[in-house]
Amino acid sequence: MTETKITTDKYDIIENPQHYACEAVTVSYTVEPIELCEMCGFLLGNALKYLFRYQHKGKPLEDLMKAQYYLRRYKKRSDHVNSIGWYQDNKIALAFKDKDFFKYCDVAEGSLFIDDGLLQFVDEKIAEYQMKSVEMGK
Q: What is the pLDDT of residues 122-134, one digit of tens each?
A: 999 999 999 988 8
Q: Provide the percentage of residues in the chain whose pLDDT is more than 70.
A: 70
Q: Provide the percentage of residues in the chain whose pLDDT is more than 90.
A: 27
Categorize the per-residue pLDDT at 3 as very low, low, confident or very high, splitting at 50, 70 and 90: very low
Query: Residue 112's pLDDT is what?
Result: 60
| 73-105 burial code (b ≥16 CB/10 A, e <16) | ebbeeeebebbbebeeebebbbbbeebebbeeb
- Percentages helix, strand, coil for the chain, rounded to the nearest 5? 50, 15, 35
Average pLDDT, the chain: 79
Categorize the per-residue pLDDT at 95 as very low, low, confident or very high, splitting at 50, 70 and 90: confident
| 121-133 burial code (b ≥16 CB/10 A, e <16) | bbeebbeebeeee
